[in-house]
Structure formats: C-alpha cells, structure tokens
Amino acid sequence: MKKLILFILVTFTVTKLWSQDPFLFEGPKTTESRNIPLIGDKAPAFIAQSTNGEIKFPGDYGRSWKILFSHPQDFTPVCTTELLELANLQDQFDKLGVKVLAISTDRLSTHEQWKKAMEGLRYKDREPVSIEFPLVADEDLTISKQYGMIPTTSETTKDVRGVFIIDPDNVIQAVYFYPMTVGRNTDELLRMVTALEKTKSEQVMTPANWKAGDDVLVRTIPSSTASREELASEGLYNLAWFMWYKKAN
C-alpha cells in the first residue's frame, strides 16, 4: 500500500511538471518589494557555470548587445519551444552582433541533458538545431534574485520568466516579463533589438509595428525655415506638424 501511494504521488508530481502547471511553483506569499533593474539601470554582473563553460557577465561579451532569457525550470514544454525558436534565429542574432544567454534555475548537469534532448527534436518539422548559446545554471537563485525575478526572502521560481535586453554599455534598454502559460515571441525580441540598435546608432525613433526597412521617426521637428525641397532631399516628410518621418536608407 505504501508503495502504491508513493507511486501515485510521484506520478502526480511528474504530470504537473510536464504540463507546466503554474501552481507547481507556488510559494509563500510575500509583500516584499523586488529590486528589478529597469530601463536605464546597469545590468547586474555575475559569474556562473553554463553549458559553454564559465560565464563572467558582462565582461566576457565586450561591446556586444546582450539578451538574458530566463526560465523557472528545465524540461518544461513552453520553455523548450522558446529555446528552440531562439536557436532557429541564432544566425540572425549573430548578424546583429547580439549575444543570447538562457538562464534556468536547475543545475548544470540538468541543463546539459535538456540541451541534448532539444537538439534531437524536429520542432515544427524543421531539422534539429544546435543550441550554441549558453544555458546558464542558477541553481542557488543568485542571478534570478539579482534581476528581481525572485524576492530575496522567497525560493519560488515561478516568476523567472524575464527577458532583459542590454546594450554595449551594459545598460538595460528593454525589460519583459511573461506568465508561465504563454510562450514568448522570439521574433519580437529580434525586432526589438534591431530597432534599439537603429535608434541608438542613428538617433531616430521607430513607429508602432516598425520592421527593418520601414521609415523611421525623427526626434526633432525640422527648422521652419527649411523649404519642402530641402527637407525632401534629406528624405524627410510629415503627416502632421508633430509627426516627421525619415525615409529608410
């Protein structure tokens, strides 16, 4: 009877893990505020082990743009699809000079098993992909707490679903948080970092739903003394006095 009860409990736990039930990660409620680094803050530094060896962040990445992509646990189905989509976009991130790091709260040995399992999958009928970016081990939750995803007095990992986009000066430029039940849009992350690179290098802004190759918005209204011909020669046009665009190069 005891063996039967133990078997039922183990089966129930594994089933909840496989389904990525958010309640699996529920911990004690806390009212403690979280020190989440926000846009304009320096990205917290850390040293950790990964599937690519020891990571010294951000020092190992020089003047690169960086994406930190975090997970509450390995072998969860939603997170697995996200990493496979990131791996599918690796070449495009490389062309932009963007370094991707995936952080998960399991130990390194589990990361290695998860990586091996993912690299054998034919996701969306695509050929299996090699995961070149590191899976960083955060078993003691140090990184997750530095980035405000876990309150310092709590051990629950259900909120470790953050994304931080960090510029070459190691300043955070975008922050996202997602629920456990909804997969992240990796195409949007690629669009966001493409837009951030353009706005930083060209001192422009992007309109809603902007994609690479679209016209951009200028930050300052052109001089009222400039003629239409002069403005047009610079690729400038407007829809209203407060909305000036510049044609894409």
Q: What is the DSSP string of 101-160?
A: EEEESS-HHHHHHHHHHHTT--GGGPPP----S-EEE-TT-HHHHHTTSS-TT----TT-
Of 24, 79, 163, 172, the catalytic one is 79
pLDDT for 226: 83
Active site residue 79: yes
Digits of tens for pLDDT over the chain (249 positions)? 545 444 444 343 344 444 445 445 444 444 556 789 999 999 999 999 999 999 999 999 999 999 999 999 999 999 999 999 999 999 999 999 999 999 999 999 999 999 999 999 999 999 999 999 999 999 999 999 999 998 766 667 888 999 999 999 999 999 999 998 999 999 999 999 999 999 999 999 999 999 999 999 999 988 888 888 888 999 999 999 999 999 997
Phi, psi at residue 22, to the nearest 5°?
-55, -30
Name the segment(s) of the chain with CATH classification 3.40.30.10: 25-187
Fold designation for 25-187 = Glutaredoxin (3.40.30)
Backbone angles phi, psi at 231, to 5 degrees: -65, -45
Phi first, then psi, for residue 167 (nearest 5°) are -85, 180
Angle of the 186-202 helix axis to the 77-88 helix axis, nearest 10: 50
Residue 1 has a pLDDT of: 53
| Residue whose pair of structure tokens reads 């530094």 in the numeric block | 45
